Amino acid sequence: MAPRKVALHNLHTGESLKAIYWEDGHYVPDAIAAVNRVLRDFRTGDEHMMDPGLLDLLTRLGGKVEAQGPFQIISGYRSPRTNAMLHEHSDGVASKSLHMQGMAMDIRLDGVALDHLHKAALDIGRGGVGYYPTSNFVHVDVGRVRRWQGA
């Protein structure tokens, strides 16, 4: 099987990563560690193991929309403290968010219309997909299949 690559740009830290994260039938530990660093809670600096299935989902999604650039990351991992603070200030943040388990990301792609990214994520039929047109991102996760729209 062909290697799987991911390109990420964390909008809060300015960090970018292009990596082969899966090769020769295995996830690449150094690449996964680098992904965990880039997707850390930017408010606290806490890192958490991101679910590699989330990277596989991004790879499928990027192929589906013919992504030319990196996924822009609005939110990756969130510490329980950060999530509680965000939940307190917004009804749109789940108290038991999958961000706290390294199973969710809020994303967008430069050059790809948000509604197109949203539809492509729904077409994959895996995990949760939240559409936030006012906030300009799509939430994707590797939890149970569900969909919703936020602000």
Q: What is the tens place of the pLDDT at every residue in 9-22?
A: 999 999 999 999 99
Quick one: what percent of the chain has pLDDT higher than 90? Answer: 89
Half-sphere exposure of 58 (CA within 13 A, CB side): 33
Structure token digits, residue 145? 């299949």
Rounded Cα–Cα distance for residues 22 and 45 (Å)? 25
Spatial neighbors of 76 by CB under 8 A, at least 6 apart, are 10, 38, 39, 40, 41, 50, 99, 102, 105
pTM, rounded to two decimals = 0.94
Q: 37 — phi, psi (to 5°)?
A: -65, -45
Segment 32-68, tens digit of pLDDT: 999 999 999 999 999 999 999 999 999 999 999 999 9
Tell me: pLDDT of 95 over 90.
no
Burial of 122 (0-12, 13-18, 19+ CB in 10 A): middle
Q: What is the DSSP letter of 66?
A: T
Indicate the CATH number of 4-149 among 3.50.50.60, 3.30.465.10, 3.30.1380.10, 3.40.50.720. Answer: 3.30.1380.10
Domain map of the chain by residue range? Answer: 4-149
